[in-house]
Structure formats: structure tokens, C-alpha cells
Amino acid sequence: MALLILNISMAMVVLGIFQACHGAVYKVGDSAGWTIIGNVDYKLWSAIKTFKVGDVIKFEYNPQFHNVMRVTHAMYKTCNASLPIESYTTGNDTITITTRGHHFFLCGVPGHCQSGQKVDINVPRVSAANIAPTPSALVSPSTDVKPPSPSSNTSASIAAIKSHDLVLLALQAAVLFVLFGFSDILA
């Protein structure tokens, strides 16, 4: 019985890690939120993130003073809020990214976009997520590496396998190891 509970809880830990990885929640502006106060650099905020399809973008703000509009690139560039693709006004808006490419958002309150309240959520069209390591790739990493040119292309492809994914796999391996280790002890 204790073993069963242990197995279930371990499975939930693995599942939790998996879900956390495949649908991260990003709060725009972090603790500052969606605002014109404090000159939050939303360009920098998004530039240092690696967004993926399935991620959730969260806008938190006082709906009396701000809103969220998804717009085209041209409207984003010129802060034109006259014909948004989508509008959000709850002050606690969560938007799940379902497609690759750029997703442009701005605040439609006059002057706010011009003050920098706009953000570009970019999911790279060709991303490292496309070449996620498969078990076979991890077991035999050297088979498809060309020996004559180890410099540029090999390092490029290794860098493409995001360390994030490797950490995840290592974590899952560790959890499974603990699971089997405990099973042996209790059995």
C-alpha cells in the first residue's frame, strides 16, 4: 500500500515536471506586470525568454487603466490600436500561445503603447524544440556526427539541444531511479 502511494506520488511528480516544461506560464513584466509605471522594458523582458507553443502569457493590470490588444506587426510598430485582432480587458488575462511566429500585443489606452506598453511574444519558427532529444539520440550521440567537421556544425547542433531539455530528462531519470530504488527496498 505504501509502495502504491509512493508510486502514484512519484508519477505525479514526473507528470508535474512534464507539464511545467510543456506549458510554462510567463507573467508579462514579471512583478511589475502590465503597466506604464517604471518604464518596464518589455522588449528586453521578451528577448531573454524562449517561448514555445503551449506556453501561457499572462497579463496582469488594473483594468480601469489598461487593456491588452493583439495586433498586426504594422499596428504594433505604429501603436495603432484602432482595429485589434483580439481584445482582453479583465486585468487578469491568460493567453495560450498556439502558433509559432510573432504575437504582438499592446495597450490600447491612448499614449500607453507610445510609452512602451507593448510586447512581442516570438516563438521561433525553427526552434530547438523541433530537435528535442529522443532516447535513441541520447543513447548513441556519436553515430550521426560527421568526424571531418567537428567544429562549427557539431557544436551548433549540440547547442541546439537545449540544456533545459537535458535538465528535464536528467530530473525524470533521477525520479525514476529513486522510484525503482525504493521499490527494491520495500519489495
Ligand X SMILES: *[C@@H]1O[C@H](CO)[C@@H](O)[C@H](O)[C@H]1NC(C)=O
Which residues, 83 to 112, sit near ligand X by CB under 6 A? Answer: 83, 92
Task: Decide if residue 78 touches ligand X (CB under 6 A).
Answer: yes
C-alpha distances out from residue 183 to 17, 114, 177, 187, Å: 21, 60, 10, 6
Task: Decide if residue 75 touches ligand X (CB under 6 A).
Answer: yes
d(CA 132, CA 171): 16
Task: Decide if residue 155 touches ligand X (CB under 6 A).
Answer: no
Q: Which of 153, 154, 155, 183 binds ligand X (CB under 6 A)?
A: 153
d(CA 46, CA 30): 11
d(CA 102, CA 22): 19
Would you put residue 38 in left (φ > 0), alpha (ψ -120 to 50) or beta?
A: left
Q: Pick from Cu ion, ligand X, none: which does 60 bind, CB < 5 to 8 A by kind?
A: ligand X
Task: Decide if residue 103 touches Cu ion (CB under 5 A).
Answer: no
Q: Which residue number, 145 or 176, has a Cβ lying nearer to ligand X?
A: 145
Q: Which of these ranges, 2-10, 45-53, 72-80, 163-171, lies near ligand X under the rule CB under 6 A? A: 72-80
**Minimum distance of ligand X from residue 91's CB (angstroms):** 7
Task: Decide if residue 122 touches ligand X (CB under 6 A).
Answer: no
107's CB contacts (< 8 A; 6+ apart) are 34, 36, 61, 66, 67, 68, 69, 81, 113, 117, 118
Q: Which of 28, 42, 57, 66 binds Cu ion (CB under 5 A)?
A: 66
Task: Decide if residue 126 touches ligand X (CB under 6 A).
Answer: no
Task: Decide if residue 60 touches ligand X (CB under 6 A).
Answer: yes
Q: Which residue number, 38 or 148, has a Cβ lying nearer to ligand X?
A: 148
**Minimum distance of ligand X from residue 31's CB (angstroms):** 12
CA angle, 59 as apex, 28 and 80 as ends, to 5°?
A: 90
